[in-house]
Amino acid sequence: MHHFAYKGGVLHAEDVSLDALASEVGTPFYCYSTATLERHYRVFAEAFADADALVCYSIKANSNIAVLRTLGALGSGMDVVSEGELRRAQTAGVPSERIVFSGVGKTREEMAFALKAGIYAFNVESEPELSALSEVATGLGATARVAVRVNPDIDPKTHRKISTGKAEDKFGVPYTRARELYAEAAALRGIQPCGIHMHIGSQITDLKPFGDAFALLKDLAEQLADDGISMEFVNFGGGLGVPYRGTNDVPPHPDEYARVVFDAAKDLGCKLLFEPGRMIAANAGILVSRVLYVKQGADKTFTVVDAAMNDLIRPTLYEAYHDIWPVAETLRESERTATDVVGPVCETGDYLALDRQLPSFSQGDLVAIMTAGAYGAVQSSTYNTRLLVPEVLVKGSDYEVVRPRPDYDDLIGREKIPNWL
């Protein structure tokens, strides 16, 4: 469910007209709904209300500080994968004791920064990383609380580029070696093994891979207990999918996911951690764009809009589908024709939709690319020397530009011409 709907013939974000917003802010722009962010967080968190649980929103999905502040105010923790994301969480006011640090390539500088910040735990992904963390922590006179990220070699049945739990994926420690690494961690200075971590992928719509993976997680926890290494928490990661195709694409509800988790965790007596990102942010955001031209090619029609692959790379990077709605409701029920929705970037891969049955748009029409709140703005770039688009947060009838559109001085002025030129 989201809070984008037609009112008075115009698509609104909560109580704000997207037509009026486009006139004020200019297109293209991202728009986020506070009500949707809050609802999705609460639905997930309430699925675990009877457990000792910490939901750590995965910042990489949408790192806008206003979004983080919104979720942090609800009690959300944060899952970070860089010093920059940790700094964002701090700026948003999220307490360090609600922050976990993931990622396969943490630098020693990042480790030191996180240790000084006093984060809840590190998700360690390799033996060399564990050794480096021990050295950094010992040098600071600190203790790093760690969970080893375990790779169970389970196919999450998702896109290959967002699978993280198969043997060929770069993430985590092979399940068969995890017990050995925990024994090593327990003997290292500056290291306190206190949790287990597993994250098998993103946009998962089948609960069976979760069940299979969590069963292995439970077995490992029991083996470690036999080894005298008790677990304070188990981190189940994230990955629950979202409905990119509206009512025709409904993933499992968090309550169903919770039953799978509880089946594995019921006898462990551990705190439960989660790292959802897409599930909270995706349907809370849209990308609003304006039609520049409608171009008739030899074999197809191209609807050229002012948003491009540098603004939303998911369609060309992941072959991802995003619903496209007209902002004017009159177009919603009009006759549909096949078209490619493309942008101005000089790449054949610059598209938002291919061979899609859509209304016959005209120059100046506004369109909303739906379910764009996750992995949209965070993956945007300035390719073709295009300006980053603004981000707008709506709450009821209020709105704020929470990332302004830069100008060309901001973009080009950062570069220097060497003195020999």
Q: Give residue 25's Cα distance to chain centre.
A: 25
3 state SS for 278-347: HHHHHHHEEEEEEEEEEEECCCCEEEEECCCCCCCCHHHHHCCCCCEEECEHHHHCCCEEEEEEECCCCC
Q: How far apart are CA 184 and CA 251, in angstroms?
A: 39
Whether residue 28 contacts residue 287, with contact meaning beta carbons closer than 8 Å, is answered with yes
What six digits make up the tokens of 218?
């439970």
- CB-facing half-sphere around the CA of 365: CA atoms within 13 A: 22
Which positions ≥6 away from 311 have C-beta within 8 Å?
Answer: 28, 287, 343, 376, 380, 386, 389
Q: How far apart are CA 21 and CA 392, in angstroms?
A: 9
State the virtual CA torsion across 30, 274, 14, 339 in degrees, nearest 10: 50
Q: How far apart are CA 417 and CA 373, in angstroms?
A: 37
Residue 406, Cβ density class (10 Å: 0-12 exposed, 13-18 middle, ≥19 buried): middle
Neighbours of 161 (CB within 10 A): 11
Helix/strand/coil for 207: helix
Helix/strand/coil for 228: coil
> Can you count the helices (H) and strands (E) in the chain?
13, 21
Whether residue 342 contacts residue 304, with contact meaning beta carbons closer than 8 Å, is answered with yes
Helix/strand/coil for 4: strand
Q: How far apart are CA 275 and CA 255, in angstroms?
A: 16
Residue 194 is a catalytic residue? no
Q: 275: part of which helix (H) or strand (E)?
A: none
* Phi-psi sector, 242: left (phi>0), alpha (psi -120 to 50), beta: beta
Whether residue 205 contacts residue 167, with contact meaning beta carbons closer than 8 Å, is answered with no
Catalytic residue among 31, 56, 270, 346: 346
Catalytic residues: 346
